[in-house]
Structure 1
Amino acid sequence: MGPQVRPNFPDLPYPRVGNCRPVKTKGPLTVSIFHRYIFFGVAFTCAGAIGVLVFILVMGNAMRDLFQLFSQGQLSLMTSGEMLLLLIPFVLSYALPLGILTGVLLTLGRLSADHEIIAARSAGIGLIRLSAPILFLAVLGVAVSLVMNFHYAPNAKARYREILQDAVRTNPLSFIVERSFIREFPGYVIYVGRKQADQLGDFWIWELDDRERVVKFIRAQSGKFEFNEKDNFLILVLNRGQSEFRSSDTPEDFSRPRPALAFDRASIQLPLQQIFGAHKERKRVGEMNLRELLVEYRRLRDPEEDLTETEREVGRQEIRLVIQEDLTLAYSVFSLTLLGIPLGIRVSRKETSANLGLAVVLAMGFYFMMNMAGMLEKYPELRPDLLLWVPNILYQIIGFTMCYRFGRT
């Protein structure tokens, strides 16, 4: 008989089992190769999933807030581009947990469907060693999410609102589009029939009550907008018009007489803080970074501040809620990953749609429970700031239980 020829199998990231064995290597080297194989496989898939989610969320917010303003000439191309970039840190807070969960499910589902998980376990690699690079990636995701939630996202939201307000302050007429209804100002609907440069004509104005019913109608021949920077008001000055008044109790009862008043000149104050927040005043809590939140919390505890005890407690509760929400959202990266590891292995599906659907269901369930806890902010005795951690605890319990059962099989 001639010499035996051994088959030349390609190297795998884990030791072979059976009669065909590779050249023996040291354990640490084998584990390192295997860990890199898992880590980069999951990392690249997660990066792709996060990129797609960020694009979808940014485009969704842009279509709602920016595209209409840009198409109507209310924002310049450069300003729109800057505001588009400012949306990225904000949407990353939500895209990061869902993207990493999607990447874990896709990668482990593919490996399990190709029987690579079975081969690795047959080589003596347990679930802990199998999931170590994935958990390390999750810890990195938590760190990135913390930085985003406590620094970049609130700063981006504050800058976003500031740009909108500056656009109105710099050029109030940019928000006026000829022959269109302007609904940006709460309590008013404004229609301008003619616009030539800074000359506006044919004004129709409806003043609304809290139930969106018309209580006052104004028609004017011409007018102009002025900006009161001190009080943060847009002042609409109307010339030669008529006002029609309706009953504040039954404004939709047209059988009752509606008194009218003609005027030669009148003005309406449109407060910008109702849209963009007060100018040059304290930031909203949701737009404060961690350092500003701690400064504000100390201010509320300062006995020298002229605040009632109720105002102090409400302010402190709001800050605690924001901090715990940011922490919970960041830590959800780890919780969702821990649950995604056994699920991805058990589902054993290569299909992207199946794994993506599972990831969306898990993430939506998590965010739904978070929102339910956040809705209890009016009941501080229930400690909604601590109830925000219930989804994390629940998902981790389920994840640990599934990992334990999988490790025993």
Structure 2
Amino acid sequence: MTIIFSQSFRYVSRQILSTTALCVLALSLIFVLGNLFKQIFELLVDRDLPVTSVLQFIVYIFPYSLIFTIPWSFLTGVLLVFGRMSKDNEILALRMSGLSMLQIGKPVFIISILLCVLSFYINTTIAPKGKAAMKMTLYNMAIEDPLALIIPDKVITTFPNYRIYSANRIGNKLIGLELVELNDDKYPIRYLKSEEAIIEYNEIDDQLMLVLGNAEGIIKNNKNPKDLTNLVPGLSADETTIPLDLSTFRNNPKKFKPSLLETTELYNRLNEDSALSEKKSNEIKTEIQKRNSFAVACFAFGLLAIPLGISKQRKDSHGGFVLSLAVACVYFLGIILADNMKDQIIAQYLMWLPTVAITLLGMILFIRLNRK
């Protein structure tokens, strides 16, 4: 039986590793291309973005994609392998030879633990570095070629509290520009229209300056922007300058985002920054627990995938992928819902709810399967 166990261990391990690797490549490619198109596709088409910049984005985005694709790919791989083995009666043959489900599933548990270690390192160190580097690349693009950020015939929402639209661009000038300024509650408080505008970079203040020529506009009551009866129409000026904040493109120490910092840096912020608000402190703790929860997801998914793959006896690969998609969607939906409450103290505990729930469900189903 020792020989049978050794052979089955190598066979199952080889099948799971190869299937998981293929899934990681496929899903990561989709994820990277999706983010690439979202971030810089229009810049690539409209501004002849260098190939080196595109490659930089791919290098920075890829580690971040692994946060999601490694657990999902492992789930898919185990479902497909055990579903096929069940359909071909290979599981039955191994059970008849005296192996328990715990022995048959041992490769899954070992591989899942190794993937948990890898995922933990990616989540806590590599992915935040890549995300921060991608943000800095966008910042460098913004100061080197500010016009590249304003795509003609599209509403630009990149800059905080501003919505910008330009009908066309000729040379270094924006034609038919319209601008809406929003308050902190995202209500419009000012509307400006200009036949012609340019963008300049102010190195001293580290801001982009949008210079509108012959601007006309309407101003609302800032205290009550919903009051449409209190408008100041007909405002005009030969030249109006609007400063555009670049904080969305760079790491601002005063407005840092926890997702851009390594976990060790987040712990340092919690321990050393006495001026940290309770809201920001909760955001940091939530981000830390989200990374830890993601890292353990591989074990939870592997434990659940074994009984699901065997019990369903998938007839083809599509069924296993659809099932993995359903499980992954439920899991990531739970993470997203918890992340929406990241400034609340309960969010850091809710981050573990999907992982714990899937682990418990997997344990129950696996124990039942092992008793059969």
- In the TM superposition, what is the alpha-carbon distance from 1:69 to its structure 2 partner? 2.4
Specify which of 77, 84, 97 is matched with residue 71 of structure 2.
97
Q: How far does the alpha carbon of each residue in 1:5-49 deviate from its partner, in whole angstroms, 9 at most, with x for none?
A: xxxxxxxxxxxxxxxxxxxxxx54432222111100111111111
Number of equivalenced pairs = 371
Q: Give yes or no for contact 1:241–1:263 (8 Å, CA) kept in 2.
A: yes
Among 194, 212, 216, the residue aligned to 2:190: 216
Match of 1:338 among 303, 309, 317: 303
Q: CA deviation at 1:371?
A: 2.9
Q: Is the 8 A contact 1:74 1:174 kept in 2?
A: no
Alpha-carbon distance between aligned partners in 1 of 2:330 and 2:78, rounded to the nearest angstrom: 18
Partner of 1:368: 333
Deviation, 1:194, is 5.7
Describe the SS at the equivalent of 1:259: strand
How many angstroms apart in 1 are the aligned matches of 2:98 and 2:165?
A: 74
Contact 1:39/1:134 (<8 A) preserved: yes
CA RMSD between the two structures:
2.7
CA distance in 2, matches of 1:281, 1:215: 26
Q: What is the letter of the counterpart of residue 137 of structure 1?
A: I
CA contact (8 A) 1:232 1:279 kept: no
- Secondary structure of the 1:72 match is helix
CA drift at 1:131: 0.6
Query: 1:284 maps to what in 2?
Result: 257
Scaled by the length of structure 1, the TM-score of the pair is: 0.81
1:215 Cα offset (Å): 4.3
Q: Which residue of 2 aligns with 1:321?
A: 286
Q: CA deviation at 1:362?
A: 1.4
Q: Is the 8 A contact 1:101 1:333 kept in 2?
A: yes
Give the match for residue 399 of structure 1: 362
Amino acid at match of 2:356: I
Cα 1:163–1:259 change in 2 (3 A) is same
Partners of 1:374 and 1:195 in 2: CA distance: 39
Conserved? CA contact 2:80–2:317, under 8 Å: yes
State which of 270, 273, 297 in structure 1 corresponds to 2:270. Answer: 297
| Residues 132 and 251 in structure 2, CA contact (< 8 A), matched pair in contact too | no
Which of these two proteins has the greater Rg computed from alpha carbons? 1
1:147 corresponding residue in structure 2: 121
Q: Does 1:349 align with 2:349?
A: no
- Bigger drift between 320-329 and 75-84 goes to 75-84
Question: What do residues 172-214 of structure 1 show as CA deviations (whole Å, max 9, x unaligned)?
Answer: 1222445655443343343445644335555443434567665
CA contact under 8 A between 2:136 and 2:251: conserved in structure 1? no
Query: Which stretch shifts more, 103-112 or 79-88?
Result: 79-88
Structure 1 residues 316 and 222 mapped into 2: Cα distance closer, same or farther (>3 Å)? closer
Partner of 1:162: 136
Structure 2 gaps of 5+ residues are none
SS in 1 for 2:241: strand
5+ residue gaps, structure 1 = 1-26
Aligned to 1:62: 36
Distance 1:121 1:203, change over 3 A: closer
Q: What does 1:4-403 correspond to in 2, within 5 Å?
A: 27-73=1-47, 75-178=49-152, 181-192=155-166, 195-200=169-174, 202-209=176-183, 215-246=189-220, 249=224, 253=228, 258-273=232-247, 275-277=248-250, 279=252, 283-300=256-273, 305=274, 307=275, 311-380=276-345, 383-403=346-366
Q: 1 CA distance for matches of 2:352 and 2:220?
A: 50
Residues 280 and 343, structure 2, Cα contact 8 Å, conserved in 1: no
- 8 Å CA contact retained: 2:282, 2:344: no
Counterpart of 1:352 in structure 2: which amino acid? S
- The whole-number CA distance in structure 1 between the counterparts of 2:151 and 2:341 is 41
Is the CA contact (8 Å cut-off) linking 2:136 and 2:250 kept in structure 1? no
Overall identity of the aligned pairs, in %: 26
Superposed CA deviations along residues 102-135 of structure 1, whole A, max 9, x for unmatched, are 0001001101100111111111111111011111
| TM-score normalised over the length of structure 2 | 0.89
